[in-house]
Structure 1
């Protein structure tokens, strides 16, 4: 896989992973939770986002390692990528919490 394809693959996985907690009521879309009668709490969704951020980061590092030498990253890279991950999850947040239900 070339650099361009790997970059788009990581971006697509990040978009899907950032919105995943907002589009289902199961933990990590696999495990049914105890609050099956109510909506999943926001703090659980944010915890899922943190975990998925690290999963997407590991996938990105693995792809970068397959392409060539991994570049060293500093704290600025991780701060910017975490903010970007939050921005990618914003559409799911809007659809879950700010959209009005139709009558």
Structure 2
């Protein structure tokens, strides 16, 4: 699924309290749409809903249902632990590559 990474990032930022499906879909919609590439809000919300319901069925899935239409990351899942390590490694690499390239006036 092409929205999986965006959903994971949104749920990771949401923390243990989780987010509603509507808010997750809105965040994914805002992350995906740009001036040149637009996707409909209904398409994204249906895809997010399908992804969340499909990946929250079993106890070892990546997403778990907290309440009515509220989801969060399943911290007991091995896949979530691996993805968190993978995303934390890429964030550290980005911060290390930033260096001061400003030129001196004198």
TM interval, short-chain normalised: 0.3 to 0.5
Structure with more contact order per residue of length (Cα contacts < 8 Å, sep ≥ 6): 1
Kindly indicate which of the two structures has a greater share of residues assigned to strand. 2
Question: Normalized per residue, which structure has more helix?
Answer: 1
